[in-house]
Amino acid sequence: MRMADAATRAVDCIAVLHQRESNLVMEVLRGHDRFTEIEHYPPDDVYDSRSHAQYYFHAHPTPTGLPERLFTTNRWVTGETWYRASDVIAMLDCFALDLDYPSRALNEWLTAVLVLFRPQIEQLLFARDRAVEDWQRRHPEADVFEDRRLEITSSMPVSLYEHIEWLRGELARR
């Protein structure tokens, strides 16, 4: 099962980093003197020219090194091209980072986490589209994608360990 393989890979990546006395946050901050909340790390994003996968990290106070929440944002936040949820979902299978920068373990972990949390990501994308449509209905005078009053379009708390435990239970039932 693809999700179970992703869970194993994500845990393995964390173990590799732990053995190096590092974690996900330390890996993305490598080469930076200090952590500044909400800043992009790395500053110019990570981009894989083969898969066109791209990401950056930012963190809030007291980063634990593991995701605590998944969320989507309005187009203006990241300056990207807007795609409907169904189109983004179709692109998810192409997300793969085969890079050493800023850290191979970090990139492999992120690739695995997108598979592991795929159902939640799909839910968030559909919720994002509904939030944008609702905002547009309530604010017809505004360009919904550029409206700074709409930043976070969907959000849900997550726990890597709880999700893996749930997955173990599901696999045991089968």
Q: What is the pLDDT of residue 64?
A: 72
Apex CA 36: angle with CA 64 and CA 58, to 5°? 55
> Is residue 125 within 8 Å of residue 88, measured between CB atoms?
yes
Rounded-to-integer distance, Cα 145 and Cα 126, Å: 16
Rounded-to-integer distance, Cα 156 and Cα 68, Å: 9
Q: What backbone torsions phi and psi does residue 54 show, to the nearest 5 degrees?
A: -145, 145
Number of other residues whose CB lies within 10 A of the CB of residue 170: 12
Q: What is the pLDDT of residue 97?
A: 93
- Residues of the chain below pLDDT 50: none
Model's pTM, two decimal places?
0.91
Q: What is the pLDDT of residue 33?
A: 78
Q: What is the pLDDT of residue 171?
A: 93
Amino acid at 56: Y
Apex CA 62: angle with CA 102 and CA 48, to 5°? 20
Sequence-ordered strand ranges (E) for the chain: 41-47, 54-57, 69-73, 152-157
Q: What is the pLDDT of residue 62?
A: 66
Core vs surface per residue 90-127: b (16+ CB within 10 A) or e: eeeeebbbebeebbebbbbbbbbbbbbbbeebeebbbb
Q: What is the pLDDT of residue 65?
A: 73
